[in-house]
Structure 1
Amino acid sequence: DGLAYSALLKNELLGAGIEKVQDPQTEDRRLQPSTPEKKSLFTYSLSTKRSSPDDGNEVSPYSLSPVSNKSQKLLRSPRKPTRKISKIPFKVLDAPELQDDFYLNLVDWSSLNVLSVGLGTCVYLWSACTSQVTRLCDLSVEGDSVTSVGWSERGNLVAVGTHKGFVQIWDAAAGKKLSMLEGHTARVGKEEGGKGELRVPGLIFIPCCVLSRFKILSSRNCGVLIWVHRFDHVFPFCQLLVWNHSSLSPVQQYTEHLAAVKAIAWSPHQHGLLASGGGTADRCIRFWNTLTGQPLQCIDTGSQVCNLAWSKHANELVSTHGYSQNQILVWKYPSLTQVAKLTGHSYRVLYLAMSPDGEAIVTGAGDETLRFWNVFSKTRSTKESVSVLNLFTRIR
């Protein structure tokens, strides 16, 4: 392929001495010859000494191959299969009345492999195992509509945020409403599940004529608050606030984003690493070290960042986008090289959720479709597998 051909040319023309094609992600760094040996393409000598077959970059006089020994090793070296991400979704579901609203969160995937989707005034549950669809609730009788859905960590409870500012807690298996939380003066935009309980940190307030939006995610003993937008001039910038659970005052405050911030995600691989994405006027994904308060990296994606999610298995990130390309991008961190670009939605990709095994994602858009993609793959464990037949495992 292209990598092998490039390495072969470097061997024959530059004397690079490459014997094995490296991982495509690191090819640009590793295939660069380090201070290549200066030599002429043509060698004139009166010496009658013959080149040894062991000379790496020389062609043996007894070889039938026109290339050097190292190039022959390169061509014979086993190739690691290149990871390929399918650009076609493996499943597409119709989602009528899926709203094209940047500030809603209408899709979530539970640990029990059940998808919850808010469509208009109803919440539906779709089992990824059986493809069975169940209507959990209908808020039309209350004159309300769904603005957010979120599973508890155990996958047994669903929190439903409503346009009127209520949070309803439902038992998914029984299809029964357990409780309703009141007190919000406007629609609830996001809920988060906790261990053994349901936390409701995502709120929207409308005091007087000021509209503010908050979204909270937790990571161990840290939290993050997104100040998505505010229609006054007290806080002219969109703010990202970080605090710990022992204080109500934020310990970090970031104002670099130039537009509404909806997309936030904690890294599962590095404690304190936070990614955030800005809206149409910003278009950037920014990375923060919340332990030191320092900004780390920033990349302009060229379009509105709607959602972010980290892979559970690799140091990679998936982002979904709106205006103007409506694409799904997979990034490798920290190099920020683009691994894949997926397209198919005709509207901005506002909704994103990850399967419990961390291999697939589902995306939703105002085109009223849910698309399922195989994006991440589990890496093989480097740990030695322990067999029950091994006698040494029984010794205490």
Structure 2
Amino acid sequence: MDLKTPGSGRTSYSRFESSIKKKLTARAPVASSPLVTRGQQLPTRSSAEEPRGRGACGAPRLLHAPAKAPALSLVASKLCVKKTDVRLAELKWRNTSRAAMRQKSVSRLLTIQKVGYSISESGGMKVCENTNCTWKECQKGTQDEFRAVTTTKFFIPLEPEVRLHVAGLRNDYYLNILDWNHENLLALALGSAAHIWNGRTLQGSECIDLNSSFKYISSLAWIKEGTCLAIGTSDGEVQLWDIETKKRLRNMFGHLSVVGALSWNHYILSSGSRLGSIHHHDVRVAQHHIGTLCQNKQGICSLKWSLTNRLLASGSSDGILNIWHSDPGVKVQSQPLKTIPHSSAVKAMNWCPWESKILATGGGMKDGILRVWDINHEKTIQCAATDSQICSLLWLPRTGELMTGQGLPGNQMIVWKYPTLISSSQLYGHKGRVLHVALSPDESRLFSVAADGTACVWKCH
């Protein structure tokens, strides 16, 4: 860059810079400032300020200036004369600051990820004590229960083995219309018909149709021994069908509303309705109705007998979980063994296959918490917040894990390590909430059905 000087031609910047240096070093520096600018800035006035005077040129100067001025070559070399240079210098500083901030942010992210991986790999329970944690519950102090063990491990979405379209599926959270039996038969209710597939080949074998335009199948459950399928209907009826002979064995009445849940205890079939009553049916005798339980005014949306058939768990739409003794001949006045309130509907529920007194429940839309209960002591072993409606739940005995079917925002299935309830994998294949999930008898495959009218088959790894 070249500059003009008065009375001469063009000169180089280096000569101009040298001239500036000489002029600056000839003046007394301002003791309070490392930078010397044109006009020589004065120090701030204080109560012990020295008297000021004027130089020959009228420029302000300090009296009693230091005898020896410090070297200013370094300062002068960095002095920006043109405004554009000043902007460039400021821009460089800002860019450096932004780069530092980005690096700091990445460092923090890597630190959080490292903590998350260490939790996943160790399999132990670790409570986050990082004050900079992004989890919103960390800043709220001690909670009544530990709502989540969060980890920033990134999941590789697993693809389903087979994807099916199912027509006529009711998008109803409170129904239980999918079951897979020990004979490898898969039953799914679509409207007024129950379709039966071969679980190995996924080839349709039978279809049980109510042949009705005003009622639908609201629940179904396979008996543990044989191929008898129990069907609950929207008008309060319970039917038994023998799939091998393709005949309806009997109709059982007693409910006055939708039968939303069914569960077998050998030859005792328990059914729950939306009026809050639970009936016990002995399917071997003519007078099948042998006992009644009245939970409350809200509807029964889940029923599960424990594997030892000694306890019956019932969940209702008003968030009440009741545990009942195995007494099929009970009367309406009987009281539950335990009552555990939830903040939302208890529809997703299942007993642990290898620990008889362990029960898992999933909260509805206002709750969204996966809980594992020790029924003996009526306390939670562990909890995990999903921030989503938990629509379905089952245990995976092969890996010792839990799986939940979720609603918005992900509409995915989440696999949880037990007992830590750390999420180990996620399965994405649906665009609607995963209403129902079932496990094959050999525990090698999963079948999921979602509100978007799709069904997926997954391999268990």
Map of 2:139 onto structure 1 = none
Q: Equivalent residue of 1:357, what SS?
A: coil
The one-letter code matched in structure 2 to 1:115 is L
Pick one of 150, 157, 167 that aligns with 2:228.
157
Aligned length: 290
Q: In the alignment, which residue of structure 2 is the partner of 1:192?
A: 263
Matched, 1:228 2:317: yes
Check if 1:177 corresponds to 2:248.
yes
The letter for the 1-side match of 2:208 is C
**d(CA) in 2 for partners of 1:292 and 1:252?**
10
Give 1:204 deviation, angstroms: 2.5
Q: Which of 369, 372, 383 is residue 298 of structure 1 equivalent to?
A: 383
Q: Which amino acid aligns with 1:239?
A: I
Supply the AA of the counterpart residue of 1:368: G
Q: Which consecutive unaligned segments of at least 5 residues does structure 2 have? A: 1-117, 125-154, 278-295
Kept in 1, the 8 Å contact 2:276–2:297? The answer is yes
Task: For 2:316 and 2:438, locate their aligned partners in 1 and report how far apart those are by CA, in whole Å.
Answer: 22
Q: Pick one of 326, 337, 353 that aligns with 1:251.
A: 337
1:80-119 equivalent positions in 2, closer than 5 A: 87-119=158-190
SS in structure 1 at match of 2:207: strand
Q: Distance between the aligned counterparts of 1:111 and 1:198, measured in 2?
A: 18
How far apart in 2 are the matches of 1:322 and 1:249?
Answer: 34
Query: How many angstroms apart in 1 are the aligned matches of 2:199 and 2:372?
Result: 33
Work out which of the residue numbers 128, 131, 138 in structure 1 matches 2:199: 128
Amino acid paired to 2:338? Q
Measure, in 1, the Cα distance between the counterparts of 2:447 and 2:360.
20
**Of the candidates 409, 417, 435, which is equivalent to residue 332 of structure 1?**
417
Q: Aligned partners of 2:262 and 2:123: how far apart in 1?
A: 42
Larger Rg: 2
SS in 1 for 2:211: helix
What TM-score, normalized by structure 2, do the two folds share? 0.59
Question: What is residue 215 of structure 1 aligned with on the other side?
Answer: 302
Q: 1:327 to 1:372 in 2, by over 3 A?
A: same
Does structure 2 retain, via aligned residues, the 8 Å contact 1:85–1:374?
Answer: no
Structure-1 separation of matches of 2:298 and 2:315: 13
Residue 193 (structure 1) shift = 2.9
Q: CA RMSD in A?
A: 2.5
Note if contact 2:345-2:363 (Cα within 8 Å) is conserved in structure 1: yes
Letter of the 1:203 partner, please give it: S
Q: Which amino acid aligns with 1:201?
A: S
Secondary structure of the corresponding residue to residue 124 of structure 1: strand
1:214: Cα distance to partner? 4.7
What SS does the corresponding residue of 2:220 show, helix, strand or coil?
strand
Q: 1:306 to 1:144 in 2, by over 3 A?
A: same
Change (3 A) 1:162 1:85: farther
Give ranges in structure 1 of 5+ residues lacking alignment.
Answer: 1-22, 30-83, 230-237, 378-396
Q: 2:322 is matched with which residue? A: 241
Q: Which amino acid aligns with 2:322?
A: L
**TM-score, normalization: structure 1?**
0.68
1:364 counterpart SS class: strand
Q: Secondary structure at the match of 1:140?
A: coil
Are the counterparts in 2 of residues 136 and 175 from structure 1 also a CA contact under 8 Å?
Answer: no
Match of 1:382 in 2: none
* Deviation for aligned residue 1:98: 1.0
Q: 2:452 aligns with which of 342, 346, 367?
A: 367
C-alpha change, 1:130 and 1:345, in structure 2 (3 Å) is closer
Distance 1:258 1:104 in 2: 20
Q: 2-side partners of 1:359 and 1:129: how far apart? A: 10
Of residues 265, 275, 280 in structure 2, which corresponds to 1:205?
275
Which of 362, 374, 392 lines up with 1:289 in the alignment? Answer: 374
Equivalent pairs: percent with the same residue? 31
Shift of 1:307: 0.9
Q: Which AA in structure 2 matches 1:227?
A: S
The answer as to whether partners of 2:404 and 2:415 remain within 8 angstroms in 1 is yes
Residue 317 of structure 1 is matched in structure 2 by 402
Could you tell me how far apart the structure 2 residues matched to 1:240 and 1:27 are?
A: 33
Structure 1 residues 120-141: Cα deviation after superposition (integer angstroms, max 9, x where no partner): 1111101123433134322134
> What is the deviation of 1:343?
0.9
How far apart, in 2, do the equivalents of 1:320 and 1:224 lie?
A: 20
Which residue is 1:269 aligned to?
354
Q: How far apart, CA to CA, are the structure 2 residues paired with 1:300 and 1:306? A: 14
Show CA shifts across 1:178-214 (max 9, x none).
001111111111212333x25133333279x954225
- Map 1:10-89 onto structure 2 (within 5 A): 25-27=120-122, 87-89=158-160
Q: Residues of 2 paired with 1:352 and 1:191: CA distance?
A: 16
Contact 2:413 2:426 in 1 (8 A): yes
